[in-house]
Structure 1
Amino acid sequence: MGKPKFILFSLFFATCFYSFTLASYNLDTPLSNMVRDQIKLEMQASLFYQTYGHYFESSDQALHGFAKYFTDQSLEEKKHADKLMTYLNQRNVQVKTLSEVPEFCPKLKFKKLCNFITGNKTKSDLNIDIPLTAVQNAIDLEEKVFDELEKIADGSDAQLSHFIEHEYLDEQIESIKELKDYETQLTKINGSYIGVLLLDRWLMEGKQNKL
């Protein structure tokens, strides 16, 4: 092979190799859009928890343990969104400006509390067990987040699947289990104010709660 042909062959090989590497490194458009949608959902969850946290902080409820729990969850969801945005940058994908976070209430199984907190209903419509309903709303939200994360980690991009499985899915399972434990405890309390105050105190202290 002559030197000019060798040089052309080398350039052709390098171009093909670079294209292959770039295609493997860059995240494809459908997956990029799924990650962006997940960022919106995480931010939506953060606002949802923030709103519930301030509701329990109000004098109408004065359940500061529940307020702390939901506020901590809000910060955690924001961290999840930040981590996904950093990941997109690592995979050479533009994060882009987030669109307005839509209201989450219509997606919930038990909408009354969410509708009341966001101003869509009057207090007379709120004939429910408020702490229990709040926890059930949180379970609903976390299960929806888990379902969407599973769709992203479907194996079509091995590295992305690894990232989601190790950074998100395990934590989601733990959060759902914790919330389901609270749901069981609140169901057994059956509206007892003393029981709710005891659980609220434990939430404030950040303990594992078993009644």
Structure 2
Amino acid sequence: MVFHGGRVKLHSILATLSEFEHAEKGDALYAMELALSLEKLTNEKLLSLHGVAAQNNDPQMTEFIEREFLAEQVEAIKKIADFVTQLRLVGKGHGVWHFDQKLLHEGDGVF
């Protein structure tokens, strides 16, 4: 459909704030801290589930949780905690870009 003689009025689009935005810490550090909190919460819940299995005398379930989840969680917490430390050291700006580039090439053995 084509309309002739009408007026188009354009308004500016305001960006909404993301849950990852933080003025003081910067987006990358804040997002990584949120990821670390989530990993710690997941680990806490897995430990709770492991405790329930142990209380109910279910060695297969406790072994399954240990084998499939707990070791991986500890590694993830360690890795993200290291990222948080690195981001705190580099600050905002160019340091975050450099950190991002290192993450990009992590699979290449550069990091």
**Fold match, TM over 0.5?**
yes
Matched residue, 1:107: none
Count of residues in Structure 1 that have an aligned counterpart in Structure 2 = 90
1:137 maps to a residue whose letter is L
Matched residue, 2:80: 179
- The structure in which a higher percent of residues are helix is 1
Matched residue, 1:152: 49
From 114, 118, 133, the equivalent of 2:30 is 133
Distance 1:150 1:202, change over 3 A: same
Greater RCO, CA 8 A, separation 6+ = 2
Task: Give CA deviations for 1:165-203 in whole Å, capped at 9, x if unaligned.
Answer: 010000000000000001110111122x22111110111
For structure 2, the residue ranges without an aligned partner over 5 or more in a row are 1-14
Q: 2: CA distance between counterparts of 1:137 and 1:209?
A: 26
Matched residue, 1:206: 106
From 94, 103, 106, the equivalent of 1:194 is 94
TM-superposed deviation, 1:150: 0.5
Q: Which moved more, 1:126-135 or 1:180-189?
A: 126-135
Moved segments of 4+, more than 3 Å: 207-210
Written as runs of structure 1 = structure 2, the 5 A alignment for 1:46-125 is 116-117=17-18
SS in 1 for 2:17: helix
Q: Percent identity?
A: 29
Matched residue, 1:161: 62
Task: Give CA deviations for 1:99-155 in whole Å, capped at 9, x if unaligned.
Answer: xxxxxxxxxxxxxxxx9326xxxx8xx423110000000000000000000011111
Give TM-score scaled by structure 2 length: 0.71
Matched residue, 1:51: none
2:68 maps to a residue whose letter is E
- RMSD of aligned C-alpha atoms? 2.4
For structure 1, the residue ranges without an aligned partner over 5 or more in a row are 1-59, 61-114
Give TM-score scaled by structure 1 length: 0.39
